[in-house]
């Protein structure tokens, strides 16, 4: 373990520490930054706590420096959005002013894990470690700070799963028992979704965290994922095992694709959530025939419906839900289009459906590639997805690789030709678009003549 380097803190933090010292208080860096610094790793988590001052005196220091007014009652927090910094008062203070005599050791007892119960004084370079968190880091062991308060926030079981995966550490037997006994029934779904989102987007191998959650006996908090366990697959296509095992490999493969192709932001989120949900339809569609073959007919359609319902229950945004559901619905298309020799018009129609959710064939190919390579087949071991390359080449030849071409025919043109505004105008525009996609015609006059001729036929 290494000692944190004060120079790795923003000067803004040092200035705050000096300002609070001048007021008779003390500012500590706490939590994730100290933990990661002790591991010699960089951290985006930068949380601060102030000791020895009332809320009014804290606010007098923070207000002129661009912080918000106090947020929260039990645990007051002041936020600086631009700097990405939270300043809090001690966790075990009263609802009003904190106890000036409250020390860090008493406050830290309310934290979840001992590795998160360390503090760093930016003025002196001192590390406060009342629960021996650095030892746990060295032993690669996760332990609760206080077994009597750990369960105060049941969401901590998801954090344990995420941190165990991220840090490659093992919960001790006592912590495993605590996690297994937690009741997540009343945890707001937004908080559950937030932790699952962090698992998917922050970890290089997200399935490690989901697997940890399963090992802690709490995967049922996400019923569609729990339903994947034990669902059989055709070993010719899926020698790796059941749907649960396959989904884990696909999710981790999608994370690798995102890193390799520098996919960030919402595009990364859509890719990872789509990988997670791509086979949610298999539990309800899988059958074993008299010939012993395992089949999951229409699992893509069923999966899209289940995805919409589940992600809405998790209260994700509608734009993300629409995008993920469309990718789940068509995740088999790249291989099938190539196998069946789909024509350009088929690619154009597919591009329209994807575009309605803000997607392109490129986005779809990534999900299909993660699905194809998230197995133990010879192709997967060789990192080969020839159908994906052929699919994108065909989409490029149809001029829709990056989305459908713009509509050639516009409402104003039809109205100049005597079509009045109303349902008929909309129908003719849709028909012009359909002909454009089927034939590749991009001459407005030709398309208008054709739809008007059909109209009068």
Per-residue pLDDT tens digits for 124-167: 999 999 999 999 999 999 999 999 999 999 999 999 999 999 99
pLDDT above 70 coverage of the chain, percent? 96
Residue 328: closest CA among 311, 349, 352, 347: 311
Work out the average pLDDT over 173-191: 97
Q: How confident is the model at residue 1 (pLDDT cuts 50, 70, 90)?
A: low
Q: Which helix (H) or strand (E) holds 170?
A: strand 170-171
Q: Which helix (H) or strand (E) holds 29?
A: strand 26-30
Q: Does the CA dihedral 258-373-270-187 come out positive or negative?
A: negative
Work out the average pLDDT over 242-248: 98
Question: What is residue 293's DSSP assignment?
Answer: -
Work out the average pLDDT over 184-189: 96
Three-state secondary structure call for residue 191: helix
Q: Which helix (H) or strand (E) holds 373?
A: helix 361-373
Work out the average pLDDT over 223-227: 98
Work out the average pLDDT over 15-36: 94
Higher-pLDDT residue of 416 and 210 is 210
Work out the average pLDDT over 95-116: 78
Work out the average pLDDT over 43-62: 89
Whole-number Å distance between alpha carbons of 30 and 87: 10
Whether pLDDT at 403 is above 70: yes
Q: How confident is the model at residue 95 (pLDDT cuts 50, 70, 90)?
A: very low
Question: What per-residue confidence (pLDDT) applies to 73?
Answer: 60
Question: What per-residue confidence (pLDDT) applies to 70?
Answer: 80
Model pLDDT for residues 366-385, shown as the tens digit of each residue: 999 999 999 999 999 999 99
Question: What's the chain's average pLDDT?
Answer: 92
Question: What per-residue confidence (pLDDT) applies to 93?
Answer: 39
Long-range contacts of 3-6 (CB under 8 A, 24+ apart): 3/38, 3/125, 3/127, 4/29, 4/33, 4/34, 4/37, 4/38, 4/120, 4/125, 4/127, 5/37, 6/122, 6/125
Lowest mean pLDDT among 44-53, 142-151, 360-369, 391-400: 44-53
Q: How confident is the model at residue 33 (pLDDT cuts 50, 70, 90)?
A: very high
Sorted by sequence, the CB contacts under 8 Å of residue 31 that are 6+ apart come out as 45, 47, 111, 116, 118
Question: What per-residue confidence (pLDDT) applies to 320?
Answer: 98
Write down all domains in the chain, each with its CATH number in brackets. 6-140 (3.30.460.10), 153-221 (1.10.110), 222-397 (1.10.3210), 411-456 (no CATH)
Model pLDDT for residues 279-325, shown as the tens digit of each residue: 999 999 999 999 999 999 999 999 999 999 999 999 999 999 999 99
Whether pLDDT at 37 is above 60: yes
Residue 50: closest CA among 111, 104, 127: 104
Q: How confident is the model at residue 96 (pLDDT cuts 50, 70, 90)?
A: very low
Lowest mean pLDDT among 48-62, 156-170, 191-205, 246-260: 48-62
Work out the average pLDDT over 57-74: 84
Question: What per-residue confidence (pLDDT) applies to 426?
Answer: 83
Q: How confident is the model at residue 75 (pLDDT cuts 50, 70, 90)?
A: low
Lowest mean pLDDT among 110-114, 171-175, 194-198, 204-208: 110-114
Question: What per-residue confidence (pLDDT) applies to 289?
Answer: 93
Work out the average pLDDT over 211-226: 98
- Chain CA centroid to CA 439, Å: 39
Whole-number Å distance between alpha carbons of 102 and 99: 5
**Integer CA distances (angstroms), 219 to 51, 184, 216, 226, 233, in order:** 39, 11, 8, 6, 21
Q: How confident is the model at residue 97 (pLDDT cuts 50, 70, 90)?
A: very low
Is 95 in contact with 87 (CB distance < 8 Å)? no
Question: What per-residue confidence (pLDDT) applies to 6?
Answer: 83
Whether pLDDT at 365 is above 50: yes
Question: What per-residue confidence (pLDDT) applies to 74?
Answer: 58
Question: What per-residue confidence (pLDDT) applies to 343?
Answer: 94
Whole-number Å distance between alpha carbons of 112 and 94: 19
Is 8 in contact with 46 (CB distance < 8 Å)? no
Three-state secondary structure call for residue 207: helix
Q: How confident is the model at residue 449 (pLDDT cuts 50, 70, 90)?
A: confident
């Amino acid at each position: 373990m290494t000692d944190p380097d004060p120079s790795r803190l923003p000067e803004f933090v040092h200035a705050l520490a000096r300002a609070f010292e001048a007021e008779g208080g003390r500012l500590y860096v706490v939590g994730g930054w100290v933990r990661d610094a002790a591991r010699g790793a960089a951290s985006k988590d930068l949380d601060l706590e102030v000791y020895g001052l009332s809320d009014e005196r804290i606010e007098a220091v923070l207000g002129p420096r661009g912080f918000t007014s106090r947020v929260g009652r039990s645990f007051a927090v002041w936020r600086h959005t631009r700097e990405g910094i939270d300043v809090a008062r001690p966790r075990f203070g009263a609802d009003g002013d904190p106890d000036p005599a409250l020390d860090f050791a008493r406050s830290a007892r309310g934290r979840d894990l001992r590795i998160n119960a360390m503090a760093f004084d930016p003025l002196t370079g001192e590390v406060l470690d009342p629960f021996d968190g650095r030892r746990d880091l060295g032993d690669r062991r996760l332990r609760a700070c206080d077994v009597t308060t750990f369960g105060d926030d049941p969401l901590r079981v998801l954090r344990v799963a995420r941190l165990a995966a991220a840090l490659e550490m093992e919960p001790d037997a006592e912590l495993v028992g605590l996690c297994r006994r937690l009741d997540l029934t009343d945890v707001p779904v937004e908080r559950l979704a937030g932790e699952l989102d962090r698992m998917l987007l922050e970890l290089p191998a997200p399935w490690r965290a989901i697997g940890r959650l399963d090992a802690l006996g709490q995967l049922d908090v996400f019923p569609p994922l729990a339903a994947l366990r034990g669902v059989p697959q055709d070993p010719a296509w899926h020698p790796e095992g059941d749907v649960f095992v396959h989904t884990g490999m696909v999710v981790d493969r999608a994370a690798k694709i995102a890193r390799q192709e520098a996919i960030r932001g919402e595009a990364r989120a859509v890719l990872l959530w789509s990988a997670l949900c791509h086979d949610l339809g298999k539990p309800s569609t899988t059958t074993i025939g008299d010939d012993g073959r395992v089949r999951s007919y229409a699992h893509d359609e069923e999966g899209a419906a289940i995805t919409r319902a589940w992600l809405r229950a998790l209260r994700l945004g509608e734009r993300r839900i629409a995008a993920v559901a469309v990718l789940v619905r068509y995740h088999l298309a790249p291989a099938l289009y190539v196998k069946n020799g789909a024509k350009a018009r088929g690619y154009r129609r597919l591009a329209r459906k994807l575009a309605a959710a803000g997607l392109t064939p490129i986005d779809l190919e990534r999900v299909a590639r993660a699905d194809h390579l998230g197995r133990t087949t010879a192709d997967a071991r060789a990192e080969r997805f020839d159908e994906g390359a052929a699919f994108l080449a065909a989409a490029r030849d149809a001029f829709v690789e990056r989305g459908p071409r713009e509509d050639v025919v516009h409402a104003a043109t039809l109205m100049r030709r005597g079509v009045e505004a109303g349902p008929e105008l909309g129908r003719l525009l849709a028909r012009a678009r359909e002909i454009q996609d089927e034939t590749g015609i991009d001459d407005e006059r030709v398309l208008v003549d054709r739809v008007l001729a059909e109209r009068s036929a």
